[in-house]
Amino acid sequence: MKGYQYKFIIQPDDPRDWLFNLTHEGETVHQFTWPEGPFEKNECSDTIYRAGEKVPYHEHKKGIETFLIAKGSVDVTIRGKHTVAHEGDIIFLAPYTAHGFIYLEEGTIWREFFQEINMSGGIMNKHTVMDNYGMDFYWEPEFRARYLGKNEQVVRIPPAHPEEVSREELKEIRTPEFGFSTFRFGDGAIVLRQKVGRWETNGVREVWQAILRKGVKVAWNAPYGESEIYHLRKGRLHMKIMDEEYTVEAGSFIHIPPYVKREMEALEDGTELLDAGCSGCMLDMLEDYVTLQATEPEKLATPEARSKFMQQYGVYITDVSY
Ligand SMILES: [Fe+2]
């Protein structure tokens, strides 16, 4: 394991950007960020699976798992229901949601965003430390069937006859087109879809997908003591963070440190950005913004007025142009 390095732009396939690399029973984990703050936010990693590998049916008493299938497809059983999820789908798992997976393709990339679960410690404890220094009975099935580990994982009996459903019917699967709410600005220059609601994360964060037309520019900052984590799914971005400039390619994570100003510009049409740890009350802000735009547009007439309005919701966007 290497020492802590803070990188603004993380390329998942570049070994220099891994905090550690762990191979266990055929699966490979690349850790990109550590959990942060009281809610262990913004931890992310990739697990790369071989075809046919399984995660046994289980649930958690605490902690929230959000997975993005970056490559491949996955046989999914959630709450006794069964379907196949595809590349680009997000799978959101609240506590007490039983889930089991079979990875259908060689090299499936399972991109993981955790909250209140600390999988870095979990993986290290459970697999590396316990294998080498832990209790002798750690791998005995009888023990594992009732083991409550650091993440209070509960092993469940997989359903014998899970109900077959479409992936749209299973509410934990958020397809690329899904949004609890969708907002469009500038004749479709900016499309925002809410993937995960604040009501699902103990009020800690929201997850949003932004689809941006070439030339869209956004400047913002945040007075929070936690970083922000974005994932560029498609397209390219120009970013400026703490006066450093980057061209960000599709597939990268953007890990913005607390308190600093940042700017971005979409360099391609259809640039797709996932804000995985949105601290601001974005849904409330957007709903009220649209209402005000229709009823009292003079209150949003200038960039300063718009910025002040958004600040009330913990959204610190200082400039948007398209
Ligand atoms: Fe899990």
Distance 299 CA to ligand 1 centre (A): 46
How big, in percent rounded to 5, are the helix, strand and coil portions of the chain? 15, 40, 40
Distance 302 CA to ligand 1 centre (A): 46
* CA proximity to 290, closest of 299, 303, 279, 278: 299
In the predicted model, is pLDDT for residue 150 greater than 90?
Answer: no
Q: Where are the domains of the chain?
A: 9-174, 182-321
Gyration radius from the chain CA atoms: 20
Q: Mean of the pLDDT values across residues 45-69? A: 93
Q: How confident is the model at residue 154 (pLDDT cuts 50, 70, 90)?
A: confident
Distance 98 CA to ligand 1 centre (A): 8
Is the overall model pTM greater than 0.85, yes or no? yes
In the predicted model, is pLDDT for residue 149 greater than 70?
Answer: no
In the predicted model, is pLDDT for residue 141 greater than 70?
Answer: yes
In the predicted model, is pLDDT for residue 229 greater than 90?
Answer: yes
User: What pLDDT score does 1 carry?
Assistant: 44
Q: How confident is the model at residue 142 (pLDDT cuts 50, 70, 90)?
A: confident
User: What pLDDT score does 140 carry?
Assistant: 80
pLDDT digits (tens, 9 = 90+) for 74-108: 999 999 999 999 999 999 999 999 999 999 999 99
* CA proximity to 270, closest of 188, 207, 178, 193: 188
For the segment(s) 9-174, the CATH number from 2.60.120.10, 3.40.50.300, 1.10.3720.10, 1.10.150.20 is 2.60.120.10
Distance 125 CA to ligand 1 centre (A): 16
CATH of domain 182-321: 2.60.120.10
CB-based contacts of 176-183 (< 8 A; 24+ apart in sequence):
176/88, 176/89, 176/209, 179/209, 180/283, 181/283, 181/286, 181/287, 183/286, 183/290
Q: Mean of the pLDDT values across residues 187-200? A: 98
